[in-house]
């Protein structure tokens, strides 16, 4: 399912053991939601590649992910948090009718 609201954790905190697993899961869902379905969707393949573990199994650091996407590290949080999802209660206009 999609995360409904912005997470309480930052992108960098997704790998932190300090946060409960449920919070990390909700946060991860929120960030993937943006990259898969939001304005970041054209970069989704690059995003997934940037998250690929190294040969030794180590997860990439936040700065490494940002570098892979050619983004400032802060944008990994700011872009998804600034995304305004369309309301699910709004019905699309009927075919052929102007809104």
**pLDDT of residue 67 exceeding 90:** yes
* d(C-alpha 99, C-alpha 94), whole Å: 8
**Structure pTM?**
0.72
Task: Express each pLDDT in 5-22 by its tens digit.
Answer: 677 788 999 888 888 998
- Report which of 11, 15, 31, 34 is spatially closest to residue 85, judged by C-alpha positions: 34
- 70-95 in b/e form (b: 16+ CB < 10 A) is ebebeebbebbeeeeeeeeeeeeeee
């Amino acid at each position: 399912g999609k995360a409904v609201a912005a997470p309480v954790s930052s992108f960098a905190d997704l790998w932190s053991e300090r946060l409960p697993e449920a919070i990390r899961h909700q946060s991860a869902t929120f960030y993937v939601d943006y990259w898969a379905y939001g304005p970041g969707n054209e970069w989704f393949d690059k995003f997934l590649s940037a998250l690929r573990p190294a040969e030794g199994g180590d997860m990439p650091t936040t700065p490494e992910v940002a570098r892979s996407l050619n983004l400032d590290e802060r944008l990994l949080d700011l872009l998804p948090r600034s995304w305004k999802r369309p309301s699910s209660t709004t019905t699309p206009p009927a075919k052929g009718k102007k809104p």
